[in-house]
Amino acid sequence: MSRTGPGYVESEAELFADLERKEENGEISERTANAFRELYEFAKEIGDEVQIGEAKNANFQVKVDAHQGESPSDTSVFTANVNGKLKIWPAMMVIKNDAGLDSVEWEKEDYDEFERAFHSLKGVPRDSKSIKFETFASKTDRDEFMSMVDEFVTICQEIRIGYVGGRIRRSDTLRKRSSKSYILFLAVSLS
């Protein structure tokens, strides 16, 4: 079933119009609207693709190629819906669909650390992989959230890149990896 058509937010113009309308009608606060705009702009900076659509409210999902790798699942790093939730659980779908993580260069531990960082944010319910967007806007340090997302994405990207110009990029994030990464490390080192 397609979730498109009148009543669904499907473009950036519709996303901003929905925020403005809801703010003017008192459905969301100015703080919530501004937090959503800020997060959307961050998503455009960090994501290889930002998809809007399939909801009746301003919403988006952030996709990063290095996170998805060759995974058959079309996963995002996080999703946000202004009248719904901010969710990080879609990022783990790569793990659910590829238990051995053969399709990506990052490790399950990288996602686990991302999730732990999310749990440490003010307002995030214990053991939850989502938070109501309104709560996120009013209680959570947005800079802290964006920093943890940036770190997870950077780890995904740097592991995929590995060596650049004969040297490790940000070697503090490149640690002993799976055998496939170690083989890549050796191949580049010896060349």
pTM over 0.85: no
| Domain boundaries defined on the chain | 12-162
State the DSSP H helix or E strand holding residue 24, giving kind and residue range, or none if neither: helix 12-24
Q: Are 127 and 118 in contact (CB under 8 A)?
A: no
pLDDT digits (tens, 9 = 90+) for 58-74: 999 999 999 988 887 78
Instruction: Give 6's pLDDT tier (boundaries 50, 70, 90).
Output: low
Check residue 161 and give its pLDDT. 55
The amino acid at 128: S
